[in-house]
Structure 1
Amino acid sequence: MGFSLGEQLDITQVMDIKDRLQAELEQSDSLLIDGSEVSRVDAPGLQLLLTAKNVCQSQSVTWKWQGASSDLVAAAKTLGLVEPLGLKDFAD
């Protein structure tokens, strides 16, 4: 089972998702991220993901996408973050 980002990955949810990600990182040496339900995303949400992915990389924690919605991929594409976030498999 993956770590679900839910429907909203925006500034209103960033602190909650951050806390959940930190707790998950403390318990596991790999993260399976499910972004398939994301329908609302903004720059702070993407910044959180990029920071979390970089933390994982620095701590040798595996980061893998289980799914990514078209809205999530489109927002990442707009900000040039498809490759840094590892979303190439979900981009057109």
Structure 2
Amino acid sequence: MGFALGEQLDITQVMDIKERLQAELEQSDSLLIDGSAVSRVDAPGLQLLLTARNLCQEKNIKWQWEGASSELVGAARTLGLVEPLGLNGFAL
């Protein structure tokens, strides 16, 4: 089942995305993340993703990216989070 992040992955959306992610993780043993529409991202948004990815690893839930925008990858690169978030395949 896919999980679309939407256009904003910033502090204004963190709580909503967190609730959606929690619900998704309770229902599935895999998570397909689509970040291709993300045009605005900040550190709290990336922190939420990193926390969710770490939780998935702890609970043996498969985490996979369907897509990632250049803005998302660029922000992750700036903070040194490309590898921890599993965005290696999207980083050029």
Please give the TM-score of this superposition, normalised by the length of structure 1: 0.99
- Identity in percent: 80
Aligned residues: 92
The structure 1 segments of at least 4 consecutive aligned residues displaced by more than 6 Å after TM superposition are none
How far 1:2 moved relative to its partner? 1.4
Which residue does the alignment assign to 2:76? 76
Query: Which runs of no fewer than 5 residues in structure 2 stay unpaired?
Result: none
Which residue does the alignment assign to 1:3? 3
SS at match of 1:66: strand
Q: 1:1-92 alignment to 2 at 5 Å?
A: 1-92=1-92
How far 1:15 moved relative to its partner? 0.2
Aligned alpha-carbon RMSD (Å): 0.5
Query: Which runs of no fewer than 5 residues in structure 1 stay unpaired?
Result: none
Please give the TM-score of this superposition, normalised by the length of structure 2: 0.99
